[in-house]
Amino acid sequence: MTISSPTHNLSKRFKNIVYTQLEGTELTVSEIGFGSYRIDAETPEHKEALKKSLLSGINLIDTSSNYTDGSAEKLIGTVLTELIEENKVTRKEIVLISKVGYIQGRQYERSQQRKLQGIPYQDVVFVSEGLEHCIHPQFLEDQLEQSLNRLNTEYLDVYLLHNPEYFLMVSESQGMDLLTAREIFYDRIKKAFVYLEDQVKKGRISYYGVSSNTLPHDPSSYQFVSLETLYEIANEISSECHFKVIQCPLNFAESGAVTCDNNAQLSVLDFSKNHKLSVFVNRPYNGFVKNALFRFVDYLVEDEVASIEVEDAVQELVLLEETQDTLPFDTLIDSPSEEEAFRKHLNIASLLSQYWSSFKGFEHWLDVLNYSFLPQIESVMMYISSKDMSEQTHEWFHSYFSLINHVMRLITAHYKAYAATRSGFVKQRLLTLSSEWGDSYSLSHYSLFSLRQTLGVTAVLVGMRKEDYVTDALVTFTRKISKKDNRDFWREITQFVNTI
């Protein structure tokens, strides 16, 4: 069949980029897409990265209404508008995906306000304080309007229900019977699909689907989302169904999309291929091994830090922290209750002494550092910055913060070296299993090579917040790749990763 569409015509202009057609559609997309999970409209670096992607020929953009509280969509809308006005791209050349379902941030506040007003969203799933989920048509209508406004577009090429399995997760925690939970779950999916088909008729979306982390799970899992059932529901609704896209994780630690036959004895990829569905895979570099994050990237290790070196530095910090009772706190604190609260923040050493060696890896340590320790340290620094201190107190805090900084650097280097060693083991194993690539590429490159080579993968969504990340991803287009059935490769590399 001869294809003639704006996306196909764009593919002819970029000879160094590989494109593929979305099954059952006129859309042609680059085999690597711009993932926008952590981008925001306030960071110029993110804006330049997206521009570089689009001007390099990457025409697939994936976002969601909840990414950075809507700021990711806002940035994408701004960049697209600018490039369109400069005649560097056209809207019809770009395949724009957004997702819906999460209620967080401003949307969570809005949800709570609607409850107080007596007009709550229907079928809301309460996950935790600050997080709800919903796929009811009423909520979808509200979110679609907001997404279109932020993206400054009249339509979305693809609109996906975003991790609807939250309903199943909560139902499981509440002890609901599995058959009952699934009946309710797929009834809610059906209502959403009816709404989405109607939006196709209105021209606000072109195609729709589901993005789910549990599509590749074993069918016995309570939170398993059946692609076969989704497909059947969509085709019951319309003989000209526009359910064309799914999205799920696939990486060296989580290969269920290839290796688990969970839909009529077919894997997610095989079922999709047989039923003309396109599959976008996410988290190519981020796999979970025993509930711990494993990053499939190379690490530049500058210093080798032994455990004993970290332990000695932590104990030195403990000894210094124990001397805080010698400080004249009456010059810093206005009341006994305030002193008690302040002293609770001066416990970094005792916490590190207990936990520094028990983090699940480099990424886990960085999360705790950035979202727990550093805010606590900054809180103390902000507090004392407005106080008049004696020379003794000033010297104590100077030594305290200097030693904390030293300890944090040592722990970071220790976990980074551990991560680098694990990445090295994975790379060695990959070269054994698939020697065709040679040994001159990074682990992230091998990840993209492997995913793009896998039969049934339409495109790989890559987080590209920096221009360097875009350049790195584009390197993989320099190698010719032929699609093949490589189930054995995925099974073997996943088994290996889960043992190191």
* pLDDT tens, position by position, 165-193: 999 999 999 999 999 999 999 999 999 99
Asked if residue 314 belongs to a domain, the reply is yes
The per-residue pLDDT for 3 is 58
What does the alpha-carbon distance between residue 92 and residue 277 come to, in Å, rounded to a whole number? 21
For the chain, what percent of residues have pLDDT higher than 70? 97
310-364 tens-digit pLDDT: 999 999 999 999 998 887 766 666 666 666 667 778 899 999 999 999 998 999 9
- CA distances to 53, 192, 196 from 209, in Å: 24, 10, 9
149 and 77 together in one domain: yes
**Is 302 part of a structural domain of the chain?**
no
> How many Cβ atoms are within 10 Å of 399's Cβ, its own excluded?
13
In a domain, 90, yes or no: yes
Nearest CA among 290, 447, 303, 257 for reference residue 361: 290
Q: Between the CA of residue 453 and those of 94, 254, 394, 449, 479, what are the distances in Å?
A: 23, 16, 60, 6, 11
Among 422, 454, 471, the domain-final residue is 422
Q: Give the pLDDT score at 24.
A: 87
Does residue 404 share a domain with residue 259? no
In this structure, are 318 and 245 located in the same domain? no
CATH number at residue 249: 3.20.20.100
Q: What is the pLDDT of residues 400-422, one digit of tens each?
A: 999 999 999 999 999 999 999 99
User: Do 313 and 275 fall within a single domain?
Assistant: no
| 292 and 325 within one domain | no
Global pTM value: 0.91
The model's pLDDT over 44-92, given as tens digits with 9 standing for 90+, comes to 999 999 999 999 999 999 999 999 999 999 999 999 999 999 999 999 9
Residue 208 and residue 140 share a domain? yes
Task: State the average pLDDT over residues 375-397.
Answer: 86
264 pLDDT more than 70: yes
Predicted confidence (pLDDT) per residue in 431-488, tens digit: 999 878 788 899 999 999 999 999 999 999 999 999 999 999 999 987 888 899 999 9
Q: How confident is the model at residue 304 (pLDDT cuts 50, 70, 90)?
A: confident
User: Is residue 292 assigned to a domain?
Assistant: yes
8 A C-beta contact, residue 182 and residue 121: no
Query: Where do the DSSP E strands lie in 198-319?
Result: 205-211, 243-249, 278-282, 286-289, 292-295
The overall average pLDDT reported for the chain is 93
The pLDDT, as a whole number, for residue 277 is 97
Domain that holds residue 378: 307-422
- The whole-angstrom separation of Cα 37 and Cα 51 is 16
* Residue 148 within any structural domain of the chain: yes
Question: Which of the four pLDDT bands, split at 50, 70 and 90, describes residue 2?
Answer: very low
The confidence score (pLDDT) of residue 386 equals 77
Tell me if 70 is assigned to some domain.
yes
In a domain, 375, yes or no: yes
